[in-house]
Structures are given as C-alpha cells and as structure tokens.
Amino acid sequence: MQRTLIWDLPTRLFHWTLASSFALAWLTSDGDRWRSIHVFLGYLILGLVVFRLVWGFAGSHFSRFASFWFGPSEALAYLKQVAARKAPRHVGHNPTGSLAIYILLAMAVGVGLTGILTLGGDEQQGVAAGWFSFAQIKWLKELHEIGANLMLVVVFGHITGVVVESVMHKENLARSMVTGFKMAEAGTPRAKPRVWVAALMALAMLGFGGWWFAYAIDRQVDNQAWHINLEDGAGESPHVKFVGKSLPDNHTWRDECGSCHAVFYPALLPSRSWQRIMAEQGQHFGTDLGLDAATTAEVLKFMVDNAAEKHAVEAAYKIEQSIPATATPLRITETPYWMEKHREIAATDWANPLVMSKTNCAACHADADDGTFEDGAMHIPKAPAAAASAAATTP
Ligand code: HEC
Ligand code: HEC
C-alpha cells in the first residue's frame, strides 16, 4: 500500500465549491434580501455541474464516470454488504456513493433550472424574465423548493455514507477529498494534479463573481430610483443589494395622483377599484379630483393595465386573492391582505412622526413609489425616544 493521488485538484475544487455553494444557497433562500447572492450561487452551481460532466470524461481515472458507472442494483447490493459489514473498500467511489453523485448532479440541474424559471416569473428577472406570470410560476416555485429539500436529504445521505465508510475502512474520506491522497495498492491508477485546470476554474469563478457583484447588479440597481434610499440607511440590515424589478410607469398618473399623497401603484388594487375611484372622483376622500375626461381616461387606462389582477408582483397577486369577488374596496389599507400583513405593527410605530399615517407607505417601504414592495426594501423607522414614550402613554 502506498500514498497515491486519487482526486485531482479540479475534482476537489469542484466538490468543495459545490458543497459550500449549496449550503450558502440554502442560507440565502429566504426572502428578497439575499436574493442576488442566492441567484449567483444558482448560476455557479449550474456552471459547476457542466464542468463536472466534462470532467467525467476528461478528468483523471477516478474522476471519470467510467470508473464509477454503477447502476441502482449494484448500489443496493453494496448497501446490503455495508449492513452485513462485508462491504469491500473502493479506492474510487463505491456503488452507493456513485448513485448519490448522479442523483445530486441531476437534482442540481433541476433545482437550478426551476430556479431560473421562478426568478423569471416571480421577479421578472434573469434569462426567463416574462416567460411566466406570478400565478403560473407558483407550482414551479414549489418544485424548486421541494427539489432543494430533496437534495438536502440526498446530501445528508451522502454525508452519512462518507462517515460510515470512513469508520468501516478506518480512513478519513473527507480529508482525502481535501488532500486528494489515499492509501492504495501499487498499480492503482494515479491522478495527475491538473493544477492549471483548477487555476482556470478558480479564475472563471472569480471573474464571474466579480462581474456579477461589481457590474451586473450595480447596473440593474442603478435603474431603480429607490436604491439611493436604501444606501441612505433604509432597508433592513444587514442589507445586501438586490435587484428589484421595474414596473411600467406613467407621468400623467404620477402627476395627477401624486400631488396630495404619494402615488399608490395600480398593482395594489383590482381594476374595479380603480374604475370606482375614478367614477367617484368628485368625492375622493373629501376632495374633488376634478380631472378632465382625457386625463381621466389616460390615468384609468394605466391603472387598469397594471391592476392587481395582472399579478405583476407578489403583493398584487396576494391582494387580489384576498379581496372577495363581491367587494370593490376604495382603500388598499382595507384589503384583507394588507390588514393581515400590518396587523402586528406596534401602535408606537404608527405614531412615529416619520410614519404618522397608514397611507404613508414610503415611510417603511423604500420601494413604495415603484410599487414592488420587496421584503428587502422594508424597514420600520426607529421612533425618536420622545415620540415613542408619548405614544406609549396615550391610552
Ligand atoms: C386633491 C388631493 C388628492 C388627489 C389629487 C388624489 N388623492 Fe387620493 N386621497 C386623497 C386623500 C385626502 C386620501 C385619504 C388619505 C388618508 O386616509 O390617509 C386619499 C386616499 C387615496 C386612496 C386610499 C389609500 C388607502 O389605501 O387608504 C387611494 C387608493 C387613492 N387616494 C388613489 C388616488 C388616485 C388613483 C389618484 C389620482 C387619480 C388620487 N388618489 C389623487 C387625496 C387626493
Ligand atoms: C409602519 C410601517 C409600514 C407602513 C407605513 C406600511 N407598511 Fe407595508 N409592511 C410593513 C411591514 C413591517 C411589513 C412586513 C410584514 C411581514 O413581514 O409579515 C409590510 C408588508 C407589506 C406588504 C407585503 C410584502 C410582502 O411581500 O410580504 C405589502 C404589499 C405592503 N406592506 C404594502 C404597504 C402599502 C401599500 C402601504 C401604504 C398604503 C404600507 N405597506 C404601509 C410596514 C409598513
């Protein structure tokens, strides 16, 4: 037995980058705040899988698919041998481990692709932007999440296998995936280090990361008026830049509906509400809007074109679903979804001089003017001490 290089450097780099990307993708999967990192990791994982498919033919002996081309029956047979404590040692991947690898590679592709489609439908971003609407994307999003969960199960199975195998054959398999070396009989095919391939891989990944975080995101964030607000300290911290989508805009609407209060984006109410608001514009919450017919028509068209039932954003979809078909609310703040989402906000927060009114959406939502209402742009301003104690003592 002699110390032999089994795993070349590209295989090891692939393995640990994939493992850490998967873990980080899990940690960044909740909400909008970390989305730009999450999406980056998704593309990285897809790229890694493509590399691995190539390396399955071009890599060193034990990295090639030919060296671990086992079917499910062999995997099962090996599992039985393990249970009987009679499993032979494999210098390369054992049949059960091999199956886990193929399953993980296939699932990574599935989860990555459903992720791209979800991003396109849910956020109208990425290569699949606009392919699906929010309502259509729901099941794909679920598939993405179920896939990621199943992948986690397989990962744990894989880790269990590594631990069992390491104990059974008294060798540290995780360490050999770091160093590349294992004890093997003379004549076992040796891997070449392939340092240059690994260096190119590292360069490609760093280049992609640099482009993504320094250029691609910044360029898209620059198109968003509200990112300036976020950099002024709004937005929950720790805040990571993420790219919100851009919704259609209209100047007449902004001018006419933004003079007394900030504009309420059309996606926040169904078209029947906007029709009613315009029909009753003579008595708009105690004022008369007094718009002429042409202006009314233009504003109404913009609002109907982008109303809640178009499901342009998650909030639109959820607000629309929450309103009974028989109701035509005049207020966003009286829709069931809005009330549910803001139920737990403390009275002291509403009384904060920076907020004062429920309809002052922008006080807490940096992207209110854009109508997107992303989690990452949400931030309840801190009440100055005096105002907070005054509100607290008010019965
Ligand atoms: C002349 C002033 C004025 C103009 C112009 C105006 N509004 Fe209002 N609007 C009000 C007032 C006052 C309220 C009540 C605000 C409150 O309760 O905080 C209100 C409330 C609303 C609300 C309900 C907000 C909620 O969810 O509680 C909506 C929706 C609304 N306006 C839409 C519009 C639209 C659409 C336009 C443009 C066609 C418009 N407003 C133009 C004065 C105006
Ligand atoms: C006092 C701060 C505050 C104000 C003012 C406020 N919101 Fe919110 N809003 C919140 C908080 C906090 C949440 C998050 C609740 C949660 O996570 O369940 C939220 C959640 C939401 C959501 C759901 C976002 C999502 O995807 O989960 C929407 C939509 C929304 N607000 C719309 C509005 C609109 C429209 C207005 C103005 C009419 C408004 N909000 C005013 C604090 C505020």
Per-residue pLDDT of 277-296, as tens digits, reads 999 999 999 999 999 999 99
For ligand 1, atom 11: residue with the closest CA: 285
Question: Does the CB atom of residue 149 touch ligand 1 within 6 A?
Answer: no
* Range 239-260 average pLDDT: 80
Q: 285 in ligand 1 pocket by Cβ < 6 Å?
A: yes
- Ligand 2 pocket residue status of 373, Cβ below 6 Å: yes
For the chain, what is the mean pLDDT? 88
Q: Would the pLDDT of 71 be above 60?
A: yes
343: left (phi over 0), alpha (psi -120 to 50) or beta: alpha
Gap from CA of 213 to ligand 2 centroid (Å): 28
- Closest ligand to the CA of 263: 1
Residues 18, 47: Cα–Cα separation, whole Å: 10
Residue 384, token pair as written in the block: 């100055």
Looking at the CA of residue 332, tell me the nearest atom of ligand 1: 26
- 21 close to 13: Cβ distance less than 8 angstroms: no
* Per-residue pLDDT reduced to its tens digit, 197-242: 999 999 999 999 988 887 776 655 544 434 434 444 444 433 344 5
- Mean pLDDT for the stretch of residues 143-171: 96
* Residue 133 Cα to chain centre, angstroms: 17
Cα torsion through 365, 367, 373, 379, rounded to 10? -30
- Residue the block writes with tokens 């990944």: 205
Cβ pair 35, 26 in contact under 8 A: no
**Is the Cβ atom of 361 under 6 angstroms away from ligand 2?**
yes
Report the residue among 257, 263, 342 best suited for mutation to probe ligand 1: largest number of ligand atoms under 8 A from its CB: 257
**pLDDT score, position 214:** 76
Q: Say if residues 281 and 386 touch (Cβ distance below 8 Å).
A: no
Ligand 2 pocket check for 332: Cβ under 6 Å: yes
Q: 359 pLDDT exceeds 90?
A: yes
Q: Rounded to whole angstroms, how far apart are CA atoms 169 and 73?
A: 23
Distances (CA, A) of 65 to 58, 166, 175, 229: 10, 22, 22, 52
Nearest CA to ligand 2 atom 15: 341
The tokens for 320 are 């629309």
CA 262/CA 332 separation, integer angstroms: 13
| First-to-last C-alpha distance (Å) of the chain | 82
Ligand 2 mutation pick, 364, 375, 382, max ligand atoms within 8 A of CB? 364
Q: Picking from 121-125, 231-235, 239-243, 333-337, which range would have the lowest pLDDT averaged per residue?
A: 231-235
